Structure 1
Amino acid sequence: MAGAVTSVGRWLTEAVPRGRVAAFRTLVYLFVAADLVIFTPWVRTRADVPGELYQPLLIGRILPLPTPTPLLVHTIFWVLLGAALLAATGRAPRALGWPVFLLYLEWMIIAMSYGKVDHDRFGLLVALAVLPTVGAARHGDRTRTEAGGWALRVTQIAVICTYFLAAWAKLRFGGLEWMTGSVLARAILRRGTDLADLIAGVPYLLIVAQFGIMAFELSSPVVFVLRERWRHLTIGFFYSFHLVTMATITISFAPHLIAMTSFLPLERVRPLHWLRQARSPRSAAAPPGPVDPPAPQPAGQVDDTGQVVPGRPVGP
């Protein structure tokens, strides 16, 4: 029993390069800033919604959190935007990381307390909660850290739980009939693309797809027991699944996809380093070529006619 606990502990804190944590942290905080202005700018409209329509999530009732007002919503937006951009630089990882997590959590509570809750934010919220615990990490640093390994592992677990628990919810509320029903057909009717219309025309293909989705989500925890190469290929399949989802029924899982990069060797991705190399002069990067030997000097002095006078010393 003790050995099993030790093995689990080692697995949870498997050390990773600090450069991987630094790259993941930058990516996550940049996405938070992008989320505010690109993916969920509609949350700012909650400032104008009457307070009686606010039905806070459970966490909002337990704490309790205030009813959104224009001052509250706009203050969170601007403070969170600035803090996320600063945190993306890697400076003050705790002093900036904790406020970003708390403010983004409140931003999501405001967003999801009016009747619709998205499950693609779970992994990102967990990442924001654990990144401040890692401390300093520099891009390209190969030094390994167990604290960083724990932060990435917990994020990975949250990502896989998103899949597995989604399948559990389908079975809980829809039963086995979810796989044989018209779930995808209704989604295509509401928001399908031309590609989805082509797929819908193939007999029984949507039913097969629903069985495939259920099998994929229930088996997703297997990724943790695969070897590194197969694990990366499996993560690539996960990304392709979401690409097809976006191409057919225009549902984006952008926050989830950002959190899923915790599985990838991000320390190898160093765009700033590559940019500096590209800007450096070629002469500095190229090895020096062969140097021609100096030409031999005449053994004498050149007179006014350009002739060498033998026996006379060179020079004035």
Structure 2
Amino acid sequence: MLKKLLALVLLPVLFVFVINIVPEESNTEGQVLGVSVAKAEQDKEDSRIKIENYFADSSINNFKDFVKKNELTIYPQDKITIFPDLGLGLGAKISIKRSLNVTVLDAKYSREHRTFAKNVDEFLKEKSIELGGLDKIDPVLAHEIDAGLEIEIIRVEKTNIDEKEKIAYTTIRKEDPEMWKGEEKVTQKGQNGEKKLTYEVTRENGIEKSRKLIKTETTKEAVEEIIYYGTKEVVYGVGKATWYSAPAMSAAHNTLPRGTMVLVTNISNGKQVMVKIVGPGIQSNAIIDLSPDAFSQLAPLGAGTIQVKLTKP
């Protein structure tokens, strides 16, 4: 009863109000399901904000029906002003102060937000979006929020990682004059060592961008391998050398097995040549019969015979 009485009292005033604020059809953007829509305007206190003014007639008695009939999207952050109450059935002016849409690309994730925040810093605090000390943001915190702004946050982290690396052992070779030339003996087996490398790795949005070596630590020392090799000469004989028509870099010897490699040294000038024994067959008193190319590396072929020493290479 009280509601109806109030309506009767306010009716003349509200009737005048509605008549005065509903634009004529020629001045509006069109009538939609009993609603006259005035052109959107900027907020006088904040030029970034757009205000949409609607004028509902008496056929609309609740805001839900108003939104449904006009297929409007209302965001939780939008600010709605209605006067008088639609429930009175007298018509009303409905003002929607639209929040600004902002897209945030945070690392790999994109999300849409609505806000009235003045700048990026205020927006982040409003949405409880925290920045780490190394994180990057574009635009800067002081940048003004405007409709359609895109904010990109690059998440930066630095971590230390350890990697193992082999330390190859070295080989030490030592002469042993008591061992025959060509003989070897390992007196200490080599062992690889190990070291730990510590890197500072920088990642942006989970992707490695750089790494810097900050520490090297030897965790296991390498052990040298020690090998003794013989220098004692194996002499096959000392005597005369002649030459004969034979395959390149070969020689004949009456006692050494076929295939034996022999180092031949000219005693008079120190020149040396390596030859391969291809068989016996020496008829003279020479200890070795060389192919012409081998003999010529020690002396001219015209020399005929030379004094040589035969040793194991």
TM-score range, shorter chain: under 0.3
Structure with a larger share of its residues in strand: 2
Highest Rg: 1 or 2? 2
